[in-house]
């Protein structure tokens, strides 16, 4: 396998770890996809596409604060072993007061980051962009499924806010209601638009954004394993990201579930721009 390029490789050097605010962590893990496959190729596709980005987003240049792309996390072995490696990688970045930016891989990779966040010993809120609630206790015989990610986050004691959900199961709706998990589902956005502010005032000041690309409408990113019509437009997604980050501190983020397909450069580019858009929130 050829080495992955670093993020924004045509615009900037791969900054030394100590000089970089952002640490991009590729995690090519794919074990529990339940429809279309290919998420293991997502990190390489995002990094390659990032070479076509401009260094700036408007007048903001996140790379000016340094972007270091790490070696890919070793994704061989049992899921628990992989999650332990992800947790360790994210913990190292957080310990240095840097911002981890995970590139998946299936959504399960986020659980490793959630475990690292839970060990910080302070309130952290997870803002989830997703077509699915991911609140199942287990799916297809495993608790490590991509469909269980937010259930694991909730069990860790992390606060959760869900945006863009439009394909929840009855089990997930019941769990969300029983635990009063706040949310802004796709239908509410269709009917009333995006509120401002989005997050409740008592939501933690430190937030982690986990962005499953199927949260976007398939017309924006179609290269994903479980596309669902009726998702966020690009404009809605960027506006929502800006509003949830306004007045809060972004401590980390991920972009997951890209499943690259031949000839679809647009999906790869949009996922790369999404990662860069999240970085912008930490320097704006």
Residue 183 assigned as binding residue: no
Residue 214 assigned as binding residue: yes
The domain ranges of the chain are 17-280
Tracing tokens 């269709």 back to the chain, one arrives at: 190
Structure tokens at 213: 């690309």
Going by C-beta distance under 8 Å and a sequence separation of 6 or more, which residues neighbour residue 65?
A: 20, 21, 22, 282, 283
Q: Model confidence over 248-257: pLDDT tens digits? A: 999 999 999 9
Q: Model confidence over 179-225: pLDDT tens digits? A: 999 999 999 999 999 999 999 999 999 999 999 999 999 999 999 99
Instruction: Output the pTM of the full model.
Output: 0.97
The CA-based dihedral angle spanning residues 61, 63, 64, 65, taken in that order and rounded to the nearest 10 degrees:
120
> Radius of gyration over alpha carbons of the chain, in Å?
17
Q: What is the DSSP string of 204-273?
A: -SEEEEEEEGGGB-TTT---BSS--SS-B-HHHHHHHHHHHHTTSEEEEEEEE-B---TT-HHHHHHHHH
Structure tokens at 195: 């509120």
DSSP type of residue 139? B
Structure tokens at 137: 């206790």
- Sign of the torsion formed by the C-alpha atoms of 279, 95, 67 and 254: negative
Query: Tell me, which fold does domain 17-280 have in CATH?
Result: 3.40.800
Average pLDDT of the chain to the nearest whole number = 96
Dist CA 120 CA 124 (whole Å): 9
DSSP 3-state of 69: strand
Structure tokens at 281: 């929130």
Closest to 271 measured CA to CA, from 209, 217, 220: 220
Q: Model confidence over 50-73: pLDDT tens digits? A: 999 999 999 999 999 999 999 999
Residue 144 assigned as binding residue: no
Residue 206 assigned as binding residue: no
Q: Would you state the pLDDT for residue 110?
A: 98
Q: Model confidence over 263-281: pLDDT tens digits? A: 999 999 999 999 999 999 9
Dist CA 16 CA 125 (whole Å): 29
Residue 107 assigned as binding residue: yes
Which phi and psi angles does 51 have, rounded to 5°? -65, -15
For 125, 204, 211, 229, the CA distances from 201, given in Å and listed in that order, are: 12, 8, 22, 31
The CA-based dihedral angle spanning residues 65, 66, 72, 74, taken in that order and rounded to the nearest 10 degrees:
-70
């Amino acid at each position: 396998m050829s080495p992955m390029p670093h993020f924004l490789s045509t615009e900037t050097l791969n900054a030394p770890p100590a000089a970089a605010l952002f640490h991009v962590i590729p995690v090519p893990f794919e074990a529990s996809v339940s429809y279309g496959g290919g998420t293991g190729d997502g990190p390489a596709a995002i990094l390659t596409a990032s070479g076509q980005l401009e260094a700036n987003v408007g007048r903001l240049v996140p790379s000016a604060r340094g972007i270091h792309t790490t070696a890919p996390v070793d994704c061989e072995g049992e899921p628990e072993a992989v999650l332990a490696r992800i947790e360790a990688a994210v913990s190292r970045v957080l310990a240095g007061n840097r911002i981890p930016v995970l590139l998946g891989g299936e959504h399960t990779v986020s659980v490793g980051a959630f475990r690292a966040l839970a060990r910080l010993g302070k309130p952290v809120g997870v803002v989830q962009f997703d077509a699915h609630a991911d609140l199942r206790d287990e799916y297809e015989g495993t608790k490590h499924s991509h469909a269980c990610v937010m259930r694991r986050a909730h069990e860790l004691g992390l606060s959760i806010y869900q945006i863009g959900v439009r394909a929840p199961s009855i089990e997930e709706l019941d769990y969300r209601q029983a635990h009063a998990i706040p949310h802004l589902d796709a239908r509410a956005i269709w009917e009333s638009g995006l509120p401002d502010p989005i997050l409740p005032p008592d939501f933690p000041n430190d937030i982690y954004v986990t962005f499953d690309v199927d949260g976007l409408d398939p017309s924006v990113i179609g290269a994903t394993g479980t596309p669902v019509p009726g998702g966020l437009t690009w404009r809605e997604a960027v506006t929502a990201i800006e509003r949830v980050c306004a007045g809060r501190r972004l401590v980390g983020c991920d972009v997951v579930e890209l499943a690259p397909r031949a000839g679809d450069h647009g999906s790869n580019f949009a996922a790369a721009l999404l990662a860069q858009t999240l970085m912008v929130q930490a320097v704006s």
